[in-house]
Chain A
Amino acid sequence: MTSHTAHVPGTLTELPTRDLKRSVTTIILWGVLAALLMYSWKGADMRPMALYDDAGNMADFAAGFYPPNFTEWKMFVHEMIITIQIAIWGTALAIVTAIPFGILSSENIAPWWIYQPVRRLMDAARAINEMVFAMLFVVAVGLGPFAGVLALWVHTTGILAKLFSEAVEAIDPHPVEGVRATGATPLQEVIYGVIPQVLPLWISYSLYRFESNVRSATVLGIVGAGGVGMLLWEYIRGFYYAETAAVMIIIIICVTALDMISQRLRKMVM
């Protein structure tokens, strides 16, 4: 027993001293952030005054959007549906390929000489934007929605594989061991020990990627990969702002509706 001078609880008069090291770190971090912003000012061609000086031009430009011209609405809706169909197929194919790639890039399932190369491959699929893939696939398979599907497939596989493997790495290892102890094969360990645990998360991630893919698919048409983006591009280049506004409104309505439905579904599975 050590002999402390008697202390009556509840009678403290001094605040604990602030940790100097932590305060200094905070100041440095803010300094670095400020320096980064200043460094990037010139490269990003930041001209805030232009917003004020050209306000008149912008008002004229904005006025061109009103009223939106819906005379061709049937065609707009038709193209929007194609856009959604591109997203559906792109996401579906990506889910199918992301399952094996996701499992193979999980540290707790595969040895390093498998998960390292698979991860790098998925990094590559993620690093290149779907627009770039779309341009490449337009050359390969020709203009049209199929090029868009392939572009979404490759890029989304990279994203979903990473998300899937993060879910796999966070599983509870106990059920896997329970399955292993019955004499199951490694594949059966994954089927019964891993998949049931990660399934709700996987479904949630897949729905979320579907939402994003609908948004991405709306611009794929710009490079000729089908969908409503093609219309948008033609109208903007031809200064048909009333039609542009109509197409944009249809996109907003569809994307919002799908987001809401998918959010509901995601809440249901979790």
Chain B
Amino acid sequence: MTNSIQVTGLNKTFKGTKALDVIDFTAAQGEMVALIGASGSGKSTLIRHIAGLMAGDRHRDNGTVEVHGKIIQSQGRIMRNVRQHRHHISVIFQQFNLVSRMSVMNNVLLGKLGTIPNWRGSLGTFTKSEKLEALNALDRVGMAKYAGQRASTLSGGQQQRVAIARALVQKSDIILADEPIASLDPESSRKVMETLARIHKEDGKTVVVSLHQVDYALKYCPRTLALKNGKTHYDGPSRDLSVEFLNNLYGASSLDMHIPVELEIPDEAPILAAPHTVARPTPKFDVRSEPVMGSA
């Protein structure tokens, strides 16, 4: 059986820095994989390469990205027929990427563009069954009652759920989600992640989701791929991830990591690390930054 996603030896360099360094990654149909790593570790870059929105380094030795056995890019060139493959891959973005001045319904209908005749897509003439399909997709993410509203009137979490409905209408087997909850509040984040997990479960779609928050990765994704400086740092069951490993992954300097509370063992809380601050109690939020100053 061909893999749902197969990335082989992929490289990408941004102005001399390796964003992806010989990445190998495969996902079987129906897997839900979390992609974690510090900012700049290559999570988004990898997703954008799989989606065919970004090409790797132009290099004869550069690897390939295949989706359902069809080549998306190879040797740093995106295939000419990528447009036909794109509708097999739904992408969900951090900034939702909805057309804010269009209605929620029309935004969802855009998911049909890859599969209907060009002239019909360009004129925006959608059939009744297509409209019903869009409405039902909205219903599945709990947004049907907002169908007539402009996308810009919705909250971030609601917009992201509309984006998921757009992905559903695409009828793709793969959903790539690029930091889908990075700009959402905790409650919206939970809703969006739950929606993704439910769709994964009900439709058997392959879901690759990059996350900043490790706790969400552990909660929703059985498998985790951790990237560090563009290299695969870990690829395996999420439950085997340890605190030490995560500390190592993000580095002590990272203030934006979200390690689950129950895992956080303050065995080395360095409250007294800097002797000159003994006189007054160190504020709580300083704890993590202290070792950085001490080591400088």
Q: Which of A175, A180, A182 contacts B100 (CB 8 A)?
A: A175
- Residue A93 CB within 8 A of the other chain: no
Contact yes or no, A177 B121, CB < 8 A: no
- Residue A183 CB within 8 A of the other chain: yes
- Residue B15 CB within 8 A of the other chain: no
Check A182/B101 contact, CB under 8 A, given A174-B95, A188-B122, A191-B122: no
- Residue A26 CB within 8 A of the other chain: no
In the complex, A151 Cα to B90 Cα: how many Å? 49
Query: Which residues of A lie under 8 Å from residue B276 when comparing CB positions?
Result: 1
In the complex, A183 Cα to B112 Cα: how many Å? 9
Check A178/B97 contact, CB under 8 A, given A183-B113, A183-B114, A188-B122: yes
Query: Which residues of A lie under 8 Å from residue B124 when comparing CB positions?
Result: 191
Contact yes or no, A193 B99, CB < 8 A: yes
Stretch among B67-75, B80-88, B126-134, B213-221 lining the A interface = B80-88
Contact yes or no, A182 B99, CB < 8 A: no
Instruction: Classify chain B's interface size.
Output: 20 to 34
Check A179/B87 contact, CB under 8 A, given A185-B121, A191-B122, A192-B110: no
- Residue A187 CB within 8 A of the other chain: yes
- Residues 180-199 of A, flagged 1 when their CB comes within 8 A of B and 0 if not, give 11111101100111001101
In the complex, A193 Cα to B93 Cα: how many Å? 15
Contact yes or no, B98 A184, CB < 8 A: no
In the complex, A181 Cα to B166 Cα: how many Å? 11
| A-B residue pairs in contact (CB < 8 Å), sample of 28 | A174-B93, A175-B97, A177-B53, A177-B93, A178-B93, A178-B97, A179-B99, A179-B110, A179-B113, A180-B86, A181-B90, A182-B111, A182-B114, A183-B86, A183-B114, A183-B115, A184-B114, A184-B121, A185-B118, A185-B122, A188-B113, A191-B124, A192-B102, A192-B113, A193-B99, A196-B99, A196-B100, A199-B101
